[in-house]
A = this chain, B = another copy of it.
Amino acid sequence: MEVEVFETKERVLADNDKAAADTRALMRGQRTLLINLMGSPGAGKTSVLSRVIPALSEYKIGVMEADVDSDVDARTVAALGARVIQLHTGGLCHMDADMTRRGLDRMGIEGLDAVFLENIGNLVCPAEFEIGADLRMTILSVPEGDDKPLKYPLMFTISDLVVVNKLDTAAIFDFDIDAFKSRVLALNPNAEIIAISAKTGDGCEELSAFLRALIEKRRRGE
């Protein structure tokens, strides 16, 4: 008698990819850009949003704040004038495509030019789950160290845009930006890398311009 082998993880990821593809089609149809914003706890995901959202004030922006618990960041982001919804994962370490879609449906994406999903602070799990984003944007902060692509390679492999934050502290933490860039590009030759300081504003114009170009493309239906 043959016994069926059920590859749980593969099946979960396959179902997830299907849900992600549905979301991708939805966003394209609505001409709304979806950005999966990832990074370690304290890398500065919310601080970067606090720079980028005012810089993109000509657009309507939505933010889904995913947290294990709390609504600290949602209150910060709501004060910027974005449409905001708080998502609680109930202890889960990442957002998946289905949870993301429920969040989008609940928040409502009508009239929005772009939606940021601020994922759980974690360099491991969110990298494994596609959510249907048009841009996978990962923030690595200088104090974390320039060796992190060696230790968390999947995150840097799947990221379209890597933002180096807290650049104003590079000297204090002996952060070698060239070594960091080489390590990212060795994993992912197509990665865009932009270094900024959300605190001083350095580099934030370049980052906003990069995002503006993507939003404009999406508005043209691309």
Binding site for B on A (CB under 8 A): 40-42, 67-70, 72-73, 91, 93, 120-125, 128, 141, 143-145, 147-148, 150-154, 166, 169, 172
Contacts and interface: CB of A to CB of B under 8 A. Distances in A.
A42 B145 contact: yes
Contact of A172 (B70, B73, B141, B169): B169
B172 A121 contact: no
Given A70-B150, A172-B169, A93 B91 contact: no
A141 B148 CA distance: 16
The count of identical subunits is: 2
Given A40-B144, A91-B128, A121-B123, 10 more contacts: A41-B152, A42-B143, A68-B151, A69-B150, A70-B151, A72-B150, A72-B151, A121-B124, A169-B169, A172-B172
11 contacts: A40-B42, A42-B144, A68-B151, A70-B153, A91-B128, A91-B154, A93-B93, A124-B125, A143-B143, A143-B166, A169-B172
Contacts of A166: 143
Contacts of A40: 40-42, 121, 144
Contacts of A70: 150-151, 153
Contacts of A152: 41, 68-69, 121
A72 B148 CA distance: 10
A70 B151 CA distance: 6
Nearest to A127: B91
Nearest to A145: B42
A153 B122 contact: no
A205 to B, nearest CB: 23
